[in-house]
Amino acid sequence: MIFRGAFESLSLAIYGDLATEQPTLPLAYRPNPLPAVEHTPLTGSLDPANAKDPTSVARQLLDLIPESPSLAIVVRLMYCVKPSDADWEHPDFPYLYVDLGQDIADFSLEKAVKLTTEQISDELTSDQLSRFADKISSVIGPPVCFLLLEG
């Protein structure tokens, strides 16, 4: 990934397995000065921050991979949805989508939250989303109106 900007701080989350062996550290720490680096600007074709389409480099890189997922799915899995360990082994991964139209017995808010933590297909229609919202609304209860009377 490439990050460019005037950041005061930047936090990243890195997932993986813990290393069990601790590296041996020197007894005393002596800081070494960093060498001066002369910054050279990126060429226009490689600089996503100044490109007309900042996603073009990422799309071109994905095009190099046979049967690669779309950029939207890659971004969703990197930043929005953390797939379960079982999902990674599924033969259809990363094309695993939740079925919001399924008929769930004892539908509850907890089940609705669970469903929305999984990847939703881009092919989902507004009608299907409306029916899912209606299910949530029916669990919450009838709409309540407040009337404020002055006087």
**Tokens encoding 91:** 């033969």
CA–CA distance, 15 with 86 (Å, rounded to integer) = 16
Determine the residue type at 45.
S
Structure tokens at 142: 């009838």
> Apex CA 76: angle with CA 3 and CA 71, to 5°?
75
- Domain limits, the chain: 46-96, 98-151
Residue 100 near residue 111 (C-beta atoms within 8 A):
no
- Tens of pLDDT, residue by residue over 91-133, are 888 888 887 777 767 788 888 888 878 878 878 888 888 888 8
Total-model pTM:
0.46
Calculate ∠ Cα 47-51-52, nearest 5°: 170
